[in-house]
Amino acid sequence: MSGRLGTADVIVIGGGLHGCSAALHCARRGLSVAVVEKDTVARHASGVNAGGVRRLGRHMAEIPISVASMALWHRIEELVDDDCGFQPAPQIKVAESEADLAALAEREARLRAAGYTHEELLDRDRLFALLPALSPHCMGGLASLGDGFAEPYRTTFAFARKARALGVVFHEETTVEDIARAGDGFEVKTGRGTLAGARLVNCAGAWSGRFAERLGEPVPLEPMAPMMIVTARVAPFCDAVVGATARPLSFKQMPNGTVVIGGGRLGSSNLATGRTDIDFGELARTARTAAEIFPVMAAQRIVRCWAGIEGRMPDDIPVIGRSSTTDGVVHAFGFCGHGFQLGPAVGSIVADLVVTGQTDMPIEPFSIRRFATTG
């Protein structure tokens, strides 16, 4: 189909949390914005992730953004007119062995040396005071007490709704077929017509690689499908978000009593169809971890298992920054399964880059050039 779909100052590809946040922050800076989404808002990782709002355990490079985003989360309603189901709660990583304890102590020391104080060591007594239902073999922990969790679909939907209220136009179920330079700006060819814009933002998650490639800066982005479990309601027994040190786990009890268990074990995904499939052999290991750390869980009923599609970079941190080849393009993708908490702040960074080409945040480690091969 041809024809003009619209014109905007900024065209954002991708209606996940990062795309919606970028659109919202651009609109707040007075720009006209169009978001193009091949499915519907929050269809993939943004709508179905574990919802952890976590500074704990972040890659050193992500900490400044994570800290800035945490401040936004604590007053998220001011930003999007919805509390996004955000609940302040401790995030705690549990040590199950002496080696785990040593690793956590080393981590805490490294952060302190870098000037961060949000992560603190817990001795066994303090750990069990916070998490009485833990298995007795747990020995201590590392906590970020001012973190929390939120409802992912509701959050992304709230960002989209607020963006719409500020004039952002959403083109859902609209697939981007090609992007091309047109004068100083861009033409984005979609299945429903062409969009013209002065600036382009690539927030297409696991699907971002093809746009980077089109711009002459291919990236080693792979799809990943972290699997999640939710149980039937259980009487309240845990009000922190719990992880393990030596094995993947993310564990939390929601206010309605259900328990959401994830942590990064992967199912399979298909970028062409958007379908994910659960690998139960693999998910059994997550179930084992959860039941070993919280023995009460073994008898609980699983209601549903699912996985969302997300993009992953080889070094497990995202791409955030300006294009290395094309003026007017900003990338924010490849959050490797831990982008949810970063969403509010990264949208603001993207808006800064769109408007001024600069940002105060240290984003050099996220440069798209870091995997570029020469020659």
Partner 1 sequence: MTADYDLAIIGAGPAGLAAAGLAAELGLTVALLDEQERPGGQIYRAIETVGASRPLTAKALGPDYERGRGLVDAMRAARVDYLPGAIVWNVSRELAVNFSRQGGSRELRARHVLVATGAMERPVPVPGWTRPGVMTVGALQIMLKTSGLVADGRVVLAGSGPLLLLLASQYVEAGAPPAAVVETVPRARYVEALAHLPKALRAAGYLAKGIRLMRTLARAGVPVYRGASDLSVEGGDKATGLAFTQGGRERRVEADLVALHQGVVPNQQITRLLGCDHVFDDGQRCFRPVLDDWFATSLDGVSVAGDGGGIGGAVAAEHAGRVAVCGIAHRLGALSEAQRDARAAPSRAALNRDLAIRPFLETLYRPPREVLEPADDVLVCRCEEVTAGAVRGAVALGCPGPNQAKSFLRCGMGPCQGRVCGPVVSEIIADALGSDPGAVGYYRIRPPLKPLTLGELAALDTDTESGTA
Q: Which is nearer to partner 1, 117 or 273 (CB)?
A: 273
Q: Give the DSSP H or E segment for 270.
A: strand 268-270
Q: Are 271 and 223 in contact (CB under 8 A)?
A: yes
What the block records as the tokens of 39 is 């499915």
Residue 124, helix vs strand vs coil: helix
- For the bound state, the minimum distance from the C-beta of residue 277 to partner 1, rounded and expressed in Å, comes to 6
What order of strands is seen across the sheet that includes strand 241-244?
120-122, 140-144, 91-95, 241-244, 250-253, 259-262, 227-231
- For the bound state, the minimum distance from the C-beta of residue 219 to partner 1, rounded and expressed in Å, comes to 17
Q: Are strands 148-149 and 4-13 parallel, antiparallel or unpaired?
A: unpaired
Burial class (CB in 10 A: 0-12, 13-18, 19+), 121: middle
Q: How far apart are CA 119 and CA 130, in angstroms?
A: 15
Q: Which is nearer to partner 1, 240 or 290 (CB)?
A: 290
Q: Which is nearer to partner 1, 30 or 255 (CB)?
A: 255
Q: Which is nearer to partner 1, 105 or 302 (CB)?
A: 302
Q: Which is nearer to partner 1, 250 or 300 (CB)?
A: 300
- For the bound state, the minimum distance from the C-beta of residue 306 to partner 1, rounded and expressed in Å, comes to 5
The binding site for partner 1 (CB under 8 A) comprises 40, 42, 47-48, 153-154, 157, 160-161, 164, 172, 222-225, 229-232, 261, 266-269, 273, 275, 277-285, 287-288, 290-291, 297-306
Q: Which is nearer to partner 1, 195 or 290 (CB)?
A: 290
Q: How far apart are CA 211 and CA 213, in angstroms?
A: 5
Name residue 319's beta-bridge partners: 333
- For the bound state, the minimum distance from the C-beta of residue 271 to partner 1, rounded and expressed in Å, comes to 12
- For the bound state, the minimum distance from the C-beta of residue 10 to partner 1, rounded and expressed in Å, comes to 21
- For the bound state, the minimum distance from the C-beta of residue 239 to partner 1, rounded and expressed in Å, comes to 19
Q: How far apart are CA 230 and CA 278, in angstroms?
A: 13
- For the bound state, the minimum distance from the C-beta of residue 243 to partner 1, rounded and expressed in Å, comes to 17
Q: Which is nearer to partner 1, 65 or 225 (CB)?
A: 225
Q: List Cβ neighbours of 316 (8 Å cut-off, separation of 6 or more).
A: 59, 336
